[in-house]
Structure 1
Amino acid sequence: MALDYASLQAIPISYASCSLGSPSNPPPLLERLDAISNAGFSAIELSFPDILSFGSNLLGHDIDPKNYDELCKVAAEIKKECDKRTLGIMMLQPFSNFEGWKEEEGRKDAFERARGWIRIMQAAGTDMLQVGSTDTPLEKLNTSRIVPDLRQLADMLNEHGFKLAYENWCWSSHAPDWLDVWNIAKEVDRPNIGLCLDTFQTAGGEWADPTTSSGLLEDVSKDQLGKRFQQSLENLGKSIPKDMIYLLQISDAYKVPSPLSAEADEQGLRPRGRWSHDFRPIPFTGGYLPVADVAKAVLQTGFRGWFSYEVFDGGKEGKGLDVDIRAYAQTAKNVQGKLLRECSSTQLSGE
């Protein structure tokens, strides 16, 4: 089905607060908010690490990540700063390692965090929580608890009129693909759970691979890989109701200078997680993922909700970039038009 470019113009755009400037040393939050607002974005995804860093400056001391009284004060102040700049707070992120804990201690901590983050959402004036599919090692998970845990979280959020945006992280131990989180969300079966889809997570998991010299999955031929990925995107476009998609996050990926080790690092982070941290630029600026193919598949569902730019651009070497954040934010804003034109004028790979 062809997509009419004019019909895509009303899609709202957001920028993740954590992803402007160097991933390892971002500029002060208020400078980033200025750049995002001046570029013409409508909202931000508010990152929990930004609450911590902004809060340490605001209150004059480091904040315990579980001191929710202080975190709420900081979130309320960030909301005021966003209001000054006519920016909404579209979502709080990233809520991680929540579902499926085998040990009661882990599960207790997960739900204590959930209650605290709901308080932060209230203070920040946002109604959506992004939950990433956990990368807790499988041996520490009771997978039979994943759906009940998410169902309970959805019910907790629903008490406040809040939504749960479930995202497949491509290094997740149990749900790395869009189909995995879609099947889980269907089983959770709550009116306030939907998907946070992501061009990097989808293409970076099902098509690309930072551990190979080609930068691609090599379990099949390149031709077969393209056909397999195309089929997955066609299935996405045909199977997910548009109302079950809450947002699409946008980023590309650089091919890493040399293949990453397939083993988890000393922090337990898998290679795609390491790749995600420093090698995710704005589309059309040097990356190699089929970003427009993923976006087009999502648009084929009829979805016309948030496109949100979440990039972690450490340059092609992954060592950090010294950039003008105002110019960078403006480039991201300009990319939106190019991306939508690509979606409306090109066919998916293999069509």
Structure 2
Amino acid sequence: MKSISRQSLQKIPLAYASCSIGCGPNDTLARRLEAISKAGFTSIELSFPDIVEFGSQVLGFSVQPDNYSVLQGVARDIRRLCDENALTVMMLQPFSNFEGWPQGSAEREEAFARAKGWIEIMKVVGTDLLQVGATDTPEEKIFTSRDTIVSDLRELGGMLAKHNFRLAYENWCWSTHAPGWKEVWEIVRDVDLPNVGLCLDTFQSCGSEWGDPTTSSGLIETESHDQLQSNWHASLEHLAATVPGDKIYLLQISDAYKVSPPLEDKVIDGLRPRGRWSHDFRPMPYDGGYLPIEDFARAVLQTGFRGWFSVEIFDGGPEGKGRTYELNEFAKKAMVNTKKLLDNCATDGQ
């Protein structure tokens, strides 16, 4: 395996997802961006729901998520806020449930209309990167054949290429067709466009291949613990040896709480258990989680990747019911802990 020098990690750029900080109504977007900047982060993942919410607050009426003419004006205001805080917008997220809809369906038309609208927002905020999450639409409603998924993403990649934009495809551990890094990599490989790559995530991959919120151990229990560990390390070795570093556009950083009592193994409010786990039980590294996130981050770095590390956490506390904290201290702790993660990934011992 490739060595990871501590020196090579010192220039990795650090970003923070705008949606993953703040715990109350007074934690406005302006205050969140200020805290992110003061902590030393240089860029954000801009959450589309944050644009909609910010627009509704400043305009005094409920802005609809498909009112792109209004949202472009809102996005200009957000870009000014970013400029004031010396932040760039690294990526717009989370574009979801795009691929697999039947030809001619209203859902497919909506998905492509949404893509056109989001592209206009990307122009305004100054980012060239769109995150696309592997769909969690139920299998009976979409086509999950590899050819269909690849064709849809290739078409979206072509739309983005016209503007010199890129697509970062992410596995969601509760996705209908691509819960693991290997599935999204094989799709990106088959799409075979220079502007289509990967958004990898410590939680999503550890949570699909190693952890399970529905078991008392917090681990996948369909096989022995020794076999689970063997499979996990084999997967990481395969990632490091297979995925070109330049096809990874960013690595999102978070951990997970072991849920006690375990989550019910059923769909609730449209979300599978791992989806609920993702939404409410994701702390920053070294803050109460238990997933082998260092293992995964190290494997990603062994591909040669030295791009964005981006903090994306949804910390509702160990019970997933929410927690309170002070914005500036929380952001500073996220910076310290992310740097600790990088330091612990080095293999040269220096």
Instruction: State the TM bucket, normalised to the shorter chain.
Output: over 0.9
Q: What does residue 8 of structure 1 align with?
A: 9
Partner SS for 1:161: coil
Q: Deviations over 1:261-288 (max 9, x none)?
A: 11111x3210000000110001111100
Residue equivalent to 2:257:
254
TM norm structure 1: 0.96
**Partners of 1:52 and 1:4 in 2: how far apart?**
42
Structure 1 equivalent of residue 86 of structure 2: 86
1:155 aligns with 2:158: yes
How many angstroms does 1:7 deviate by? Answer: 1.4
Paired residue secondary structure (1:129): strand
Find the aligned partners of 2:156 and 2:187 in 1 and give their Cα distance: 13
Deviation at 1:25, TM superposition (A): 5.8
AA aligned opposite 1:331: K
SS at match of 1:273: helix
Aligned-partner Cα distance in 1 for 2:174–2:75: 29
CA distance in 2, matches of 1:346, 1:66: 50
Map of 1:238 onto structure 2: 241
The answer (yes or no) to whether the contact 1:40–1:333 under 8 Å persists in 2 is yes
Residue number in structure 1 paired with 2:344: 342
Q: In the aligned structure 2, how far is the partner of 1:57 from the partner of 1:21?
A: 16
| Aligned mate of 2:309, from 290, 307, 324 | 307
Residue identity (%): 59
- 1:170 aligns with 173
* Aligned match for 1:282, one of 284, 308, 313: 284
Distance 1:230 1:346, change over 3 A: farther
Match of 1:19?
20
Q: 1:44 to 1:291 in 2, by over 3 A?
A: same
Moved over 6 A (4+): none
Map 1:1-351 onto structure 2 (within 5 A). Answer: 1-22=2-23, 27-102=27-102, 104-144=105-145, 145-265=148-268, 267-345=269-347
Q: How many residues align?
A: 345
Letter matched to residue 14 of structure 1:
A
Q: Secondary structure at the match of 1:143?
A: coil
1:279-332 deviations in Å (ceiling 9; x for gaps): 000111110001111100000000000000000001111111110111010001
Asked if 2 retains the 8 angstrom alpha-carbon contact of 1:20 and 1:26, the reply is: no
Supply the distance in 2 between the matched residues of 1:121 and 1:20 (Cα, whole angstroms).
22
Q: Is the 8 A contact 1:97 1:135 kept in 2?
A: yes
1 CA distance for matches of 2:98 and 2:247? 21
What is the rounded CA distance, in whole Å, between the counterparts of 1:75 and 1:275 in structure 2?
A: 30
SS of the aligned residue for 2:346 comes to helix
Deviation of residue 155 (structure 1)?
0.3
1:21–1:321: 8 Å Cα contact kept in structure 2?
Answer: no
How far off its partner does 1:248 sit?
0.1
* TM-score between both structures, scaled by the size of structure 2: 0.96
| C-alpha separation in 2, matches of 1:120 and 1:243 | 26
Q: Which runs of 5+ in 2 are unaligned?
A: none
Does structure 1 conserve the Cα–Cα contact (< 8 Å) formed by 2:5 and 2:348? Answer: no
Give the aligned CA root-mean-square deviation in angstroms: 1.3
**8 Å CA contact retained: 2:216, 2:260:** no
